[in-house]
Amino acid sequence: MTVVVTDSTSALPEALRAPHEGLTVLGIPVLIGGTEYREGEDVQAEAILRAMREGQTVTTSGLPPEELRATYKRLLDEGATGIVSVHLSGRLSGTVAAAEAAAAGFAGKVAVVDSLGAGMGVGYPALAAAEAAEKGLDLLSAAAAAQDAIGRTTTYFYLDTLEYLRRGGRISAARAIVGTALSVKPILGVEDGRIDVIEKVRTPTRGLQRLAALAVADAGEAEVEMTVHHLGSERRAEALAGWLQERFEGRLRRMDVTEVGAAVGAHCGPGLVGVITRRRA
């Protein structure tokens, strides 16, 4: 049977992850004040929030090829016939490159998929691959299911500041407004694996309104699954989710509200609210 590997930047809620026995999630390394932790194992979003508010340095690194190689070997030794490995955008992290290096030693039994996304922009393709594998589809078909999900997924998010993205070097078009823009509220999108500024707003309320409008426009008339991510902004996230549930009514297959993991949170900072939409039809 084909199985799926992803990393913890996927921010998969337990309710979505648990039903899939063939889905392995590896914790991304997170460094707080120079001490390394593993996301989802010994550090959660709460620790990131606390560290940021205390002024500690918070950084992340990609999964090392050795760990990925060991994971692939273990899964194949346990009986997997193939592995689809779905990860955070290769333009935001080195994990995809590490996965490709690790996969090279397994004679085509590992297919690496660059999600070109973050958060559930990684999670939805990983779930699509897992669902395909559970239907008995082979490695290439499961990888194709992940690629199809990528094409049906959009990501937008609101930040209170660009400062954390600036520090981590995770902004592209945003560089043009660094400095003057640090005092405004940016709406960003993940396009072709890069983080780009879509527009700027003056208040959090306007930011949430624009997130909702962008999600509605991209969804069209399709049935959708949606995830609202946040970091230390549960009230805003619940408000956005409630509005979207009313707007989509019978076309909304599922809505999840989750706090992003430590790795994504370290680069976005407190105040993050994002909406990830997967069109199903």
Tens digits of residue pLDDT in 226-239: 999 998 899 999 99
No. of helices (H) and no. of strands (E), the chain: 10, 13
Angle between the N-to-C axes of helices 139-151 and 120-134, in degrees from 0 to 180, rounded to the nearest 10: 140
Q: Give per-residue pLDDT as tens, 165-184.
A: 776 555 544 454 544 445 67
> Given this model, what pLDDT does residue 171 score?
55
Nearest residue to 157 via CA among 128, 193, 123, 119: 119
Measure Cα distances from 62 to 3, 8, 38, 165, 194 in Å: 21, 11, 11, 16, 17
> Given this model, what pLDDT does residue 179 score?
45
How far is it, in rounded angstroms, from Cα 181 to Cα 165? 12
How far is it, in rounded angstroms, from Cα 257 to Cα 241? 7
Q: Give per-residue pLDDT as tens, 131-144.
A: 999 999 999 999 99
Q: Give per-residue pLDDT as tens, 44-61.
A: 778 888 888 888 888 888
CATH no. of 2-28+63-151? 3.40.50.10170
153-279 topology per CATH: Hypothetical Protein Tm841; Chain: A;domain 3 (3.30.1180)
Question: Which of helix, strand or coil describes residue 108?
Answer: coil
Q: pLDDT at residue 190 above 50?
A: yes
> Given this model, what pLDDT does residue 16 score?
93
Q: Give per-residue pLDDT as tens, 64-123.
A: 999 999 999 999 999 999 999 999 999 988 999 999 999 999 999 999 999 999 999 999
One-letter-per-residue 3-state SS of 115-170: CCCCCHHHHHHHHHHHHHHHCCCCHHHHHHHHHHHHHCEEEEEECCCCHHHHHHCC
Delimit the CATH 3.40.50.10170 region(s) of the chain. 2-28+63-151
Delimit the CATH 3.30.1180.10 region(s) of the chain. 153-279
Q: Give per-residue pLDDT as tens, 244-275.
A: 999 998 899 999 999 887 777 777 788 899 99
